[in-house]
Amino acid sequence: MVGLLNRLRLVARALAGRLNPVAYRTLTRPCPSGAQIPGYILENVTIQHLGNGILSKKETTMPEIANVNGKICPIDEAVVPAEDRGYLFGDGVYEVLRCYNGRMWAFERHRQRFERSLKEIAVQNLDLDQLCHWVAETYERSRIPEATIYFHVTRGVAPRSHAWSEDIIPTFFMTVRPFVVRGEGNERGIKVISVLDQRWGRCDIKSLNLLPNVLAKQKARSQGAYEAILVDEKGGVREGTSSAVVCILQGTLCAPPNCSTLLPSITRQFVFEIADELKIPIQQRAFSLKDLYAADEAFIAGSGDEIMGITHADEKPIGTGKVGELTKKIYRQYRKRISKSQDQPMS
């Protein structure tokens, strides 16, 4: 009875427009039987206002699912022990990738970066092939064509102690969710602010420790900007909180070289390849915030954001204050590569 009342309350809020359909869906509970995931059919109800008070209620099965150590379940039922070292110390590494039209994009590149991160933090007792099989299997089960996959491995579960024992078994956790469109940044561009980089000395490892990134991103959002650009004490540009930063200086595409102060971005690697095809000169070299302010064009690049032109940095217009022509060209080519890959075996 209480469950029914709660559900009625949620429907009423959704109808009143105070709750978006996605929120409604995630607040409702899965019900047993009849399955895309054996044992579950997730309730997935979209209520749309069609005008004149007409409402449409669409029910589909597009579950947001998780995988914990090989076991697939609805996201809100995924559980890991509280003494997991990922939870206690941020002792783990992760990857985020996009899926387009039912296919994982650039999985092999993510796998390679993930393998490197695992090695750098000395995670032991892990079967990476098995883990990649889980990623593919879980995505296949989700049947979400346009999705974001997140996965991480932590060192494992143990009583809290900084040092670990050699026989600790790592924890795998993964989610698959429908991709949420991030405004109109790809077409209209974005504003960014600069923030002093306060992260650790091994930003080339995709570690779970993201507190400085989280705080800087929130600062950007609170100032009406989309991304925060992390700069060193001398004003050198490193990268965004969850993206790479690239600028065009007098016709040359400039980006800082891969080193311990930034993540080797997979999207940025695609950008280099595309710029090469387009015969745009490339210089992997450090550039400063002043260079960024004076650039012809600039953009951020990342798996989730793809490519977004920077129109303003710290309220100063970059170039014309609109998305630059080379940025648009590179973005078009990037999308073309994704479309082409849909005809090819999964990579």
Ligand X SMILES: Cc1ncc(COP(=O)(O)O)c(C=O)c1O
Q: List contacts with ligand X (CB under 6 A).
A: 96, 239, 242-244, 263, 265-268, 301-303
Min separation Cβ 319 and ligand X, Å: 22
Place of tokens 């709750």: 19
Residue with Cβ nearer ligand X (301 or 326): 301
Q: Residues near 289 by Cβ (< 8 Å), separated by ≥ 6? A: 194, 229, 231, 235, 236, 237, 313, 314
CB of 284 to ligand X, least distance (A): 15
d(Cα 187, Cα 23) in Å, to the nearest integer? 26
Nearer to ligand X, 228 or 318 (CB): 228
C-alpha angle with apex 151: 150 to 155, nearest 5 degrees?
Answer: 150
Provide, rounded to whole angstroms, the least separation between the CB of residue 276 and ligand X.
17
| Long-range pairs for 111-120: beta carbons < 8 A, 24 or more residues apart | 113/206, 113/264, 113/266, 114/153, 114/206, 116/205, 117/93, 117/205, 117/206, 117/207, 118/93, 118/153, 120/93, 120/202, 120/204, 120/205
The whole-angstrom separation of Cα 205 and Cα 195 is 20
Question: Whole-number minimum distance, CB 114 to ligand X, in Å?
Answer: 11
What single string gives the DSSP state of each residue in 119-135? HHTT--S--HHHHHHHH
Q: How far is the CB of 206 from ligand X (least distance, A)?
A: 7
Residue number, 112 or 342, with CB nearest to ligand X = 112
Please, what's the b/e burial string for 203-220 (b: 16 or more CB within 10 A of its CB; e: otherwise)?
bbbbbbbbebbeebbeeb
- Indicate the residue among 24 and 299 with the shorter CB distance to ligand X: 299
Please indicate whether residue 328 is annotated as part of the active site: no
CB atoms inside a 10 Å sphere around CB 3 = 9
In the complex with ligand X, which residue's Cβ is closer, 72 or 307? 307
Instruction: Pick the closer one to ligand X by CB: 14 or 262.
Output: 262
Dmax of the chain from CA atoms? 68
Task: Report helix, strand or coil for 90.
Answer: coil
Q: Which residues pair with 231 in a beta bridge?
A: 196, 237
Least distance (Å) between residue 244 CB and ligand X:
5
**Measuring CA to CA, which residue among 164, 132, 182 is closest to residue 306?**
182
Catalytic residue among 57, 58, 119, 206: 206
By residue count, the chain amounts to 347
Q: Which positions are annotated as active-site residues?
A: 206
